[in-house]
Structure 1
Amino acid sequence: MIDESPAEEVYRSGWRTQLTQLTDRLADPTYYLAVIGEFSSGKTTFINALLGTRLMPASVSPTTVAPVVVRPTASKSLRVLLADGTTWWWSGGAGRDGSGNAPPLAQLDGLDLPSALARLATDESLTPVVRRVEVGHPAPGLPRDLVLVDTPGTNAEGHHDEVTARAVAEADAAVIVCHGAKVLPETLIRFLKATLDSRLLARCVLVLTHLDQIDPVEHERILRSARLRATRELAITDPQVVLCAPGVVVGAFSGATDAERRHWIDQFAATRDWLRRSVEHSRPITVADTALRLAERLLVDLGGGLDHRSDVLREQHRELELARIADLGSFLSGQRQSGGVELAVGRRAAIDGIEQLVTQARAGLEGQVTAAVVNCGDLRTTLQQDVPQLVRTVLDELGAAAQATVEAELGERYTAACASCDDAFDQEYARLSRAAGVPHLAVPVTPAAITDLDLINPWSFADAVRVVTEDEKRDRRVFAVGTASGAAIGTLFAPVVGTFVGAAIGFFAAARASRDAASVKRDAAGRAAANANAILDAAAEQLADAASAAAEGYRVTFDIRLRWYHDTYVSAVQAIHERQQRQRAEIEAEQQRLSTNREEIYRRVSDVERWRASLVVAPSSQGGQ
């Protein structure tokens, strides 16, 4: 299950380590008894009393953060596991480094075992070097398969709590040591709740020390208070509480003692015997429960790792959905529609601008024609030469102004449409690049297909004026009166302008016999101005057509730009879509595997919990109280 797990290798490596610990623990019949207590609780003195010798150093300040494992053996030994993974051995005062390098603990050479342990416990320079200390020492009063684990004080500074938690993790039971005047302080209770599960807590024994320093009258009250607090705070049913004075026991190692102290020595001997019997009585079930607890912890960690992986997959799926882009064809179709709207607005603005130009030209041309005719000396010459030149000049100016207007309006809208398209595509594709790791190509500044294309053809506006001056049908429609005589005179000029002049002359010839010259000029000026306006109206229609043609040219050019995007990116976008589909399928498949694995893991956790619940240890009668 670990090897097939989709979790990251860092998790699988940790699980393999736990599995190795579990298999090793199953093969080890040893009973591990952790000794837990806060600094200055009498924990180390209690261990020395159990061992029957002053072996462990009672430090005046908490320094070392390494647990000390003590095994009853036939001879003394010391094995130090270092933080770099190497091992240092001590035997009879001579040390050697298991790695074959210069021994990092050479300063311990020549020391006896208690002195070496004292150096390890008090020398702050060794704190970052030492990870675990294993001691072998004769202990006739303890079973040979009982191992004591001396943990750092839980209320000391640094990483003591963390190290103690790791040391207790593999323990079969624990002794909780407290000063008789300070039973189960809050800091210790918090540590125990966070570190020990309920079944391991149920196998703990609460040892109260320094009772020789407390008035015997208070002993019964302290005992009741300790049991009540263990039940209420730690949920331990029928807690085992031992009152003792290990300091008296250790003090007796060096000489005789009085009757009062003998009481505490005998009391401790009874406690040690009871502890031995309890170990022998509960060892099979307790060791089995420890193995199951380690298995449960491994399974829970496996489940937590799979939960973490599931969270990662959900986030990957969310990012994948956020990175999803519309189909390239649909995206470009939307851009084509948006660009078309921009260009339509530009076309309308260009035509409105042309209408304003025509209005201005009409006002100027009407005044110029009227002034030229009314103030002329020779009406015929004016009509034949001056007025046609005025009309043609205005038409030329109108064509140029119309071209500039169209270029400004359509050019601005075309630029806006291109910028909007480029920005939209740049954002979409950059998002895809981040999600799928595909290189981002530069947006086109001017595609090659556009460089040779004239967006505004100036000849189209000249043609618009030319159509106005060369359209005979429009000539006859506008100048229905006097066209015959006018056509003959107007052959020297552009047809429409010539017809315009001819019509005026024909009108003048018909009217001169009955009216004075001034009146004829005024009438001729009014008619000439009206016909000039008609010419401008016709020119306005042609210029509007030219503007529409220019707008169509811009649209074609914009389509070329969109085709450039399509041809350049279609393969890359398709590849991204295919890759996203594969990633989506892989994520969904892995999520399905995770779901199956998690169900299996939690089913096994339930099995382990049921098995652990079935392990019941009958309480062993406690002596010495």
Structure 2
Amino acid sequence: MPDPSQKPRIALMGEFSAGKSTLTNLLLGSRPLPVKVTATRLPPVWISHGPEQAQVQMADGTVQDIAPAALDRVPLAQARRIDLQLPSEALELCDLIDMPGISDPNMPAEVWQTVLPEVDSVIWCTSATQAWRQSEAAFWSILSPQLKMPGTLMVTHFDKLTSERDRARVLRRLERETDGGFGAIFPIALPQALAAGEDVEAWKTSGADQFVEHLIDMLLNWETATASPPLCDDTIAQLAPVPDLQRPRLRPVRAVSAGVTPAEEDTAAEGTVRVLPRRVRSETQHATPRPRRGRQERRVK
């Protein structure tokens, strides 16, 4: 179903249970992906714009239709990829690819390696309570030079850090240890963002406003990024789960500060999910106008 030649492809990656599916649901303005620990072992989920439908690509090459509400029942041993279409406004600007956790021992590396050559940029999710593990740093040092657009580091579960001192310490450490390996670093409290509704202050406090503004600006101007060659087979072969051995140095990064209040990730109220890009485009239309269409610009569907 996806037509990867039309729009940027943004993969959400990180270690297992880092909040990738929750962030995907936030961006989509709905909850198509299961987020509970027992239900998140899915192959890559390629999400594109269109009428709501889903298909599963099986290991034997067959394709099976599946109800979007039944994604948590996809047989992991036989499934290699899920193609999901949704009429979400965010998907008019890009395709999102929710990737399995790189540290999940039940997910063979080749399942997600086959998708990586089609990825333009990555939103990397790292949990604030165990931010930027050595395995993440080693993986990112191999992957990041191959991307067409700079990656973005999302510090999820930021609401679990209850003191300002701890929050500042984590952000300083991430700035130091990633050393320019990301275009920007954004701490975010996903439960607060999900529950914000029309509460502008809660939306800003969660850290979602600055992240979404950054994402929209990147997508609207993505063709100005320096193109990198596609991932070669040798590079992909290196991108297997990496043990925590050492922290390779990468490249100065701006950490975008955000104040958050404690909240429990699993208790965000149903029915309060927002469609993100609408507000951002209306609030930033003078600063980051939609580019004019032309022969030299990619048309965003």
Give the TM-score normalised by the residue count of structure 2: 0.68
Unaligned runs of 5+ in 1: 1-23, 94-112, 121-125, 302-618
Per-residue Cα deviation, 1:295-326 (whole angstroms, up to 9, x for no partner): xx27x79xxxxxxxxxxxxxxxxxxxxxxxxx
Per-residue Cα deviation, 1:477-496 (whole angstroms, up to 9, x for no partner): xxxxxxxxxxxxxxxxxxxx
What one-letter code is carried by the residue in structure 2 that aligns with 1:119? R
1:272 pairs with 2:212? yes
1:192 pairs with 2:140? yes
> Partners of 1:188 and 1:158 in 2: how far apart?
18
Q: CA deviation at 1:85?
A: 1.1
Alignment CA distance shift 1:63-1:624 (3 Å): closer
> Partners of 1:40 and 1:159 in 2: how far apart?
13
Q: 1:87 aligns with which of 45, 63, 69?
A: 63
> Over aligned residues, Cα RMSD in angstroms?
3.1
Per-residue Cα deviation, 1:433-460 (whole angstroms, up to 9, x for no partner): xxxxxxxxxxxxxxxxxxxxxxxxxxxx
Contact in 1 for aligned 2:158/2:188 (Cα 8 Å): yes
Structure 2 counterpart of 1:228 = 176
Segments of 4+ in structure 1 off by > 6 A? 621-624
Contact in 1 for aligned 2:52/2:87 (Cα 8 Å): yes
> Partners of 2:18 and 2:210 in 1: how far apart?
21
1:39 pairs with 2:28? no
Q: CA deviation at 1:248?
A: 2.0
What one-letter code is carried by the residue in structure 1 that aligns with 2:45? V
> Partners of 1:181 and 1:201 in 2: how far apart?
30
The answer to which structure has the higher helix fraction is: 1
| Helix, strand or coil at the partner of 1:61 | helix
Q: CA deviation at 1:72?
A: 3.0
- Give the 5 Å matches for 1:115-514: 116-120=70-74, 126-140=75-89, 142-194=90-142, 196-200=143-147, 203-217=150-164, 218-231=166-179, 236=181, 239-252=183-196, 261-265=202-206, 267-283=207-223, 285=225, 289-290=227-228, 292-294=229-231, 297=232
What one-letter code is carried by the residue in structure 1 that aligns with 2:35? A
Contact in 2 for aligned 1:175/1:204 (Cα 8 Å): yes
Moved more, 267-276 or 33-42: 267-276
Q: CA deviation at 1:622?
A: 9.7
> Partners of 2:223 and 2:56 in 1: how far apart?
27
| Helix, strand or coil at the partner of 1:193 | helix
Unaligned runs of 5+ in 2: 236-252, 259-301
What one-letter code is carried by the residue in structure 2 that aligns with 1:35? L
> Partners of 1:247 and 1:163 in 2: how far apart?
29
What one-letter code is carried by the residue in structure 1 that aligns with 2:6? P
Alignment CA distance shift 1:283-1:622 (3 Å): farther
Q: CA deviation at 1:260?
A: 7.0
Contact in 2 for aligned 1:44/1:150 (Cα 8 Å): yes
Alignment CA distance shift 1:228-1:622 (3 Å): closer
Alignment CA distance shift 1:269-1:262 (3 Å): closer
What one-letter code is carried by the residue in structure 1 that aligns with 2:32? L
Structure 2 counterpart of 1:420 = none
> Partners of 2:130 and 2:224 in 1: how far apart?
34
Structure 1 counterpart of 2:239 = none
Structure 2 counterpart of 1:52 = 29
Q: CA deviation at 1:276?
A: 1.4
> Partners of 2:16 and 2:79 in 1: how far apart?
19
Q: CA deviation at 1:202?
A: 7.1
Q: CA deviation at 1:244?
A: 0.7
> Partners of 2:185 and 2:148 in 1: how far apart?
13
Alignment CA distance shift 1:148-1:37 (3 Å): same
| Helix, strand or coil at the partner of 2:114 | helix
What one-letter code is carried by the residue in structure 2 that aligns with 1:277? D
Per-residue Cα deviation, 1:501-542 (whole angstroms, up to 9, x for no partner): xxxxxxxxxxxxxxxxxxxxxxxxxxxxxxxxxxxxxxxxxx
Contact in 1 for aligned 2:121/2:150 (Cα 8 Å): yes
Alignment CA distance shift 1:151-1:162 (3 Å): same
Alignment CA distance shift 1:622-1:89 (3 Å): farther
Structure with higher Rg: it is: 1
Alignment CA distance shift 1:164-1:184 (3 Å): farther
